[in-house]
């Protein structure tokens, strides 16, 4: 099966970007940029401001990738899947939620925060917002491969779970109480499409994955997200 | 596609430290839901949950380590190159509770990768590993991914391990959402009023039939089909028309190469909440029409074990397929009208050899598995 990258979008401390805007991707360091609903969504979206930070980040990454692929507008629900990798997940929300429990024996526990103490909740937000009914899950990989989620997304297509999948990774900065040094901050998502009769017109190139954990885009090797994004943008789209 | 079989299965629940013990006590209609002793429930809607008896904090200070130890205890040797798929929604969440109360913890154990490492250490599995988080459908999706990898020839074996705890973190949250039953949960009952939480773990070894036969492994059952789909409807409430569950089941049936008429029994999610159970009955009605397919839920006995639910229920489904029995739906008094004639407070029998197992979770995700009785070749 041939698999093509048809969209790419990200939010990192270096900025907000999309492939077709010819933006340059890097993780960078420091604070994430402020995420404004108006910048990311053409339609009103009152819930956006009520999401926890992890969900807002992940949803923004997915929205940018779908927009880049021309898939943000929809009339009927679509069998598009989502695979999102994370290390910390919603840990910051977990802490914020449990602090509402500890403060008064549970009497003031926040139901709204609790709803976001599952790492996959933002996938549900994305599914609702964009009408996505494909399989969706959050993955915590232990292989140490920064691009591990690509393999999972590719497999979703190869296994016939869905014809299109949004895949990427999403992490907030570690909470101050959790000193983890080697975590990238930000979200980056790709839209991958299974090739049918030919190359999709939105394609950045053909994505391949080899068993040693390297991706190639139209033959150009990419071992990091920076290289992958650069290969996409160099490939056209 | 290669045939996928389940060669080994363990389960630890409130009703027993082995699959056999849990199964026998389920058949007797026993209930493992008891008053919670490990934290103060004064401020919460419910005072009960299905905790695994005598589960003390293990290595690193979490009860999850002790639960995993019990779960993996009865597992035979696993091929080291097996894929590792873990399903835990909150991992060692009891450590986060300790940390926020000022006790010292190792913060790295709060990451899901730590649970993967613990399982690798205990089983010797070296293949690529991933924790699948799809809320209460986590184990169902993990089993589907493992099966798909084997069916497509990506792997010959996959170990799926699922586990979740009863914690104050989760208990308080479901209480705040008003999703807990004040008493004992009553899945598919007309008077149901919420879920009861539970904890447990399961480990299932999936293999290609060829590999299993080559190694002389027992075939407990066949994993014939798998599917997952989203509602795209609401974050915490299911779509009333069951649209996502219907898609997931249709996909699982398609993979299995059978139609809805081929399903002989159902292990339903059956949480005991008003909306989940009604959604499931609506979906089953759409899928099976007027045919009364026997169905049951174990959550009135074992509580809702969150990300582990699908794995525990798949392990129990092996016993159902072996015996042709569905355990009683504990807590049922007067079935919801759409479930009348399908669900029972007594043991149900089902003919044929195909069982459907379903789970649904927050975020609107649904998973379905089609399991088949082992067959002589």
Are B63 and B57 in contact by the 8 Å Cβ rule? The answer is yes
Summary mean pLDDT of chain A: 91
With a cut of 80, say whether residue A11 has pLDDT above it. Answer: yes
Tell me the C-alpha distance between B8 and B18, whole Å: 12
With a cut of 80, say whether residue A41 has pLDDT above it. Answer: yes
Equal fold, B4-214 vs B223-373: yes
What ranges make up the beta strands (E) of chain A?
Answer: 3-12, 15-18, 80-85, 136-141, 164-171, 186-194, 205-209, 215-217, 220-222
B315 alpha-carbon distance from chain centroid: 8
CB contact under 8 A, B93 and A94: yes
In this structure, the number of other CB atoms found within 10 A of the CB of residue B291 comes to 12
- The helix (H) or strand (E) run that includes residue B66 is helix B63-73
- Among chain A residues, CA nearest to B128: A143
CB contact under 8 A, B235 and A125: yes
Tell me the C-alpha distance between A14 and A17, whole Å: 9
Tell me the C-alpha distance between A86 and A118, whole Å: 12
- The helix (H) or strand (E) run that includes residue B141 is helix B138-151
Tell me the C-alpha distance between A184 and A29, whole Å: 8
CB contact under 8 A, A136 and B101: no
Number of domains composing chain A: 1
CB contact under 8 A, B141 and A137: yes
pLDDT confidence band for A236 (50 / 70 / 90):
low
Environment class of B119 (CB within 10 Å of its CB; exposed 0-12, middle 13-18, buried 19+) = buried
Supply the CATH number for residue A102's domain.
3.40.47.10
For the segment B271-314, what is each residue's pLDDT rounded down to a tens digit? 999 999 999 999 999 999 999 999 999 999 999 999 999 999 99
Least confident of A78-87, A170-179, B56-65: A170-179
The DSSP symbol for B263 reads -
- In the numeric block, the tokens 């053409």 are attached to A42
The DSSP symbol for A35 reads -
**Cβ neighbours of residue A145 under 8 Å, at least 6 residues apart?**
A151, A213
How close does chain B come to A101, measured CA to CA in Å?
A: 7
For the segment B27-46, what is each residue's pLDDT rounded down to a tens digit? 999 999 999 999 999 999 99
How open is the CA angle B120-B126-B128, to the nearest 5 degrees? Answer: 100
Q: What is residue B147's predicted lDDT score, i.e. its pLDDT? A: 98
Tell me the C-alpha distance between A80 and A63, whole Å: 13
Q: What is residue A126's predicted lDDT score, i.e. its pLDDT? A: 97
Over pLDDT 70: what percentage of chain A? 97
And the tokens for B67?
Answer: 């639960």
How close does chain A come to B171, measured CA to CA in Å?
A: 9
Q: What is residue A39's predicted lDDT score, i.e. its pLDDT? A: 83
- Among chain B residues, CA nearest to A181: B108
Tell me the C-alpha distance between A122 and A110, whole Å: 18
Please report residues of A whose CB lies closer than 8 A to that of B243: 133
- The helix (H) or strand (E) run that includes residue B313 is helix B309-323
Q: What is residue A213's predicted lDDT score, i.e. its pLDDT? A: 73
Q: What is residue A210's predicted lDDT score, i.e. its pLDDT? A: 82
Please report residues of B whose CB lies closer than 8 A to that of A141: 113, 128-130
Handedness of CA B11, B13, B16, B22 (dihedral sign): negative
Q: What is residue B377's predicted lDDT score, i.e. its pLDDT? A: 42
**Cβ neighbours of residue A157 under 8 Å, at least 6 residues apart?**
A1, A3, A163, A164, A165, A192, A193, A194
ipTM: 0.96
CB contact under 8 A, A142 and B42: no
And the tokens for B81?
Answer: 């190159």
Please report residues of A whose CB lies closer than 8 A to that of B141: 135, 137
- Average pLDDT for residues B258-274, to the nearest whole number? 97
Domain span including residue A197 = 3-235
How many residues in chain B?
377
For the segment A59-97, what is each residue's pLDDT rounded down to a tens digit? 999 999 999 999 999 999 999 999 999 999 999 999 999
CATH class of domain segment(s) B223-373: alpha beta
Are B182 and B193 in contact by the 8 Å Cβ rule? The answer is yes
Architecture of domain B4-214 in this structure: 3-Layer(aba) Sandwich (3.40)
Phi, psi of A221 (to 5 degrees): -70, 145
Q: What is residue A176's predicted lDDT score, i.e. its pLDDT? A: 82
CB contact under 8 A, A124 and B362: yes
Please report residues of A whose CB lies closer than 8 A to that of B96: 91, 94-95, 98
| H helices, E strands: number in chain A | 7, 9
- Give the β-pairing of B129-133 and B48-49: unpaired
With a cut of 60, say whether residue A237 has pLDDT above it. Answer: no
CB contact under 8 A, A98 and B235: no
Tell me the C-alpha distance between A15 and A9, whole Å: 11
Handedness of CA B282, B287, B291, B295 (dihedral sign): negative
Nearest of B195, B182, B141, B194 to residue B305 by alpha carbon: B195
- Average pLDDT for residues B79-107, to the nearest whole number? 95
pLDDT confidence band for B58 (50 / 70 / 90):
confident
CB contact under 8 A, B44 and A135: no
Highest mean pLDDT among B130-134, B231-235, B349-353: B130-134
Choose the mutation target among A127, A144, A153, A162 for the interface with B, i.e. most B CBs under 10 Å. A127
Over pLDDT 70: what percentage of chain B? 99
How close does chain B come to A223, measured CA to CA in Å?
A: 18
With a cut of 50, say whether residue B23 has pLDDT above it. Answer: yes
3-state DSSP percent of chain B in helix, strand and coil, to 5: 35, 25, 40
> What pairs with residue B136 in β-bridges?
B134
Domain ranges of chain B: 4-214, 223-373
**Cβ neighbours of residue B48 under 8 Å, at least 6 residues apart?**
B33, B34, B35, B36, B183, B184, B196
> What pairs with residue B371 in β-bridges?
B223, B355
Task: To the nearest 10°, report the CA torsion of B131, B135, B139, B142.
Answer: -50
Maximum Cα interatomic distance, chain B, rounded to a whole number of Å = 59
In this structure, the number of other CB atoms found within 10 A of the CB of residue B237 comes to 14
Please report residues of B whose CB lies closer than 8 A to that of A119: 133
And the tokens for B240?
Answer: 């009333």
In this structure, the number of other CB atoms found within 10 A of the CB of residue A214 comes to 14
CB contact under 8 A, A121 and B232: no
Q: What is residue A71's predicted lDDT score, i.e. its pLDDT? A: 95
How close does chain B come to A23, measured CA to CA in Å?
A: 31
Choose the mutation target among A137, A145, A176 for the interface with B, i.e. most B CBs under 10 Å. A137
Nearest of B98, B50, B6 to residue B319 by alpha carbon: B6
Provide the annotated active-site residues of B: 136, 269, 304
- Give the β-pairing of A136-141 and B129-133: antiparallel
For the segment B335-348, what is each residue's pLDDT rounded down to a tens digit? 999 999 999 999 99
- The helix (H) or strand (E) run that includes residue A233 is helix A225-235
Please report residues of A whose CB lies closer than 8 A to that of B100: 95, 98-99, 102
Tell me the C-alpha distance between B165 and B190, whole Å: 28
* SS3 label, residue B194: coil
For the segment B139-164, what is each residue's pLDDT rounded down to a tens digit? 999 999 999 999 999 999 999 999 99
Inter-chain contacts counted by CB atoms under 8 A, chains A and B: 181
> What pairs with residue B204 in β-bridges?
B9, B160
Tell me the C-alpha distance between B223 and B125, whole Å: 21
**Cβ neighbours of residue B127 under 8 Å, at least 6 residues apart?**
B80, B81, B82, B83, B84, B155
Nearest of B120, B137, B203, B72 to residue A142 by alpha carbon: B120
How close does chain B come to A21, measured CA to CA in Å?
A: 29
Summary mean pLDDT of chain B: 96
């Amino acid at each position: 099966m041939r698999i093509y990258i048809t969209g790419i979008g990200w939010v990192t401390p270096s900025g907000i970007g999309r492939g077709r805007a010819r933006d340059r991707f890097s993780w960078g360091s420091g604070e994430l940029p402020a995420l404004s609903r108006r910048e990311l969504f053409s339609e009103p979206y009152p819930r956006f401001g009520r999401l926890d930070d992890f969900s807002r980040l992940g949803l923004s990454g997915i929205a940018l990738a779908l927009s880049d692929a021309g898939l943000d507008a929809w009339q009927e629900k679509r069998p598009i899947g989502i695979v999102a990798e994370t290390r910390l997940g919603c840990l910051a929300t977990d802490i914020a939620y449990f602090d509402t429990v500890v403060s008064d024996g549970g009497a003031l526990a926040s139901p709204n925060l609790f709803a976001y103490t599952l790492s996959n909740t933002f996938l549900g937000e994305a599914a609702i917002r964009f009408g996505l009914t494909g399989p969706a899950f959050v993955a915590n990989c232990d292989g140490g491969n920064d691009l591990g989620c690509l393999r999972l997304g590719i497999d979703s297509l190869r296994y016939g779970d869905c014809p299109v999948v949004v895949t990427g990774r999403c992490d907030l900065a570690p909470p101050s109480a959790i000193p983890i040094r080697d975590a990238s901050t930000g979200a980056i998502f790709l839209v991958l499409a299974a090739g049918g009769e030919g190359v999709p017109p939105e394609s950045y190139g053909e994505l391949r994955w080899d068993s040693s954990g390297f991706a190639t885009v139209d033959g150009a090797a990419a071992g990091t997200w920076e290289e992958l994004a650069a290969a996409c943008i160099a490939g056209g789209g | 596609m290669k045939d996928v079989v389940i060669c080994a299965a363990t389960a630890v629940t409130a009703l027993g430290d082995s699959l056999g013990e849990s199964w026998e006590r389920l058949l007797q209609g026993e209930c493992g839901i008891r008053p919670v002793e490990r934290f103060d429930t004064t401020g919460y809607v419910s005072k009960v949950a299905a905790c695994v008896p005598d589960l003390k904090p293990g290595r690193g200070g979490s009860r999850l380590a002790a639960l995993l130890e019990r779960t993996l205890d009865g597992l035979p040797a696993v091929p080291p190159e097996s894929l590792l798929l873990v399903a835990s929604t909150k991992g060692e969440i009891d450590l986060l509770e300790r940390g926020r109360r000022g006790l010292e913890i190792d913060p790295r154990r709060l990451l899901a990768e730590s649970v993967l490492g613990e399982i690798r250490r205990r089983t010797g599995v070296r293949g690529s590993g991933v924790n699948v988080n799809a809320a209460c459908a986590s184990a169902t999706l993990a089993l589907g991914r493992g099966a798909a990898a084997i069916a497509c020839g990506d792997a010959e074996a996959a170990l799926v391990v699922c586990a979740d705890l009863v914690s104050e973190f989760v208990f308080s949250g479901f209480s705040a959402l008003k999703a807990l039953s004040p008493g004992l949960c009553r899945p598919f009952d007309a008077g149901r009023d919420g879920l009861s939480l539970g904890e447990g773990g399961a480990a299932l070894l999936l293999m290609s039939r060829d590999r299993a036969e080559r190694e002389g492994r027992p075939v407990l059952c066949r994993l014939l089909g798998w599917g997952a789909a989203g509602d795209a409807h609401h974050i915490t409430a299911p779509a009333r028309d069951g649209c996502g569950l219907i898609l997931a089941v249709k996909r699982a049936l398609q993979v299995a190469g059978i139609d809805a008429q081929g399903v002989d029994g159902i292990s339903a999610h059956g949480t005991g909440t008003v909306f989940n159970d009604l959604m499931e009955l609506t979906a089953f009605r759409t899928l099976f029409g007027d045919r009364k397919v026997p169905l049951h839920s174990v959550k009135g006995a074992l509580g809702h074990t969150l990300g582990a639910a699908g794995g525990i229920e798949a392990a129990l489904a092996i016993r159902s397929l072996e015996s042709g029995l569905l355990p009683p739906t504990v807590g049922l008094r007067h079935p919801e009208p759409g479930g009348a004639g399908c669900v029972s407070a007594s043991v149900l029998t089902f003919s044929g050899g195909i069982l459907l197992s379903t789970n649904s979770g927050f975020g609107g995700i649904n998973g379905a598995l089609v399991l088949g009785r082992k067959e002589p070749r």
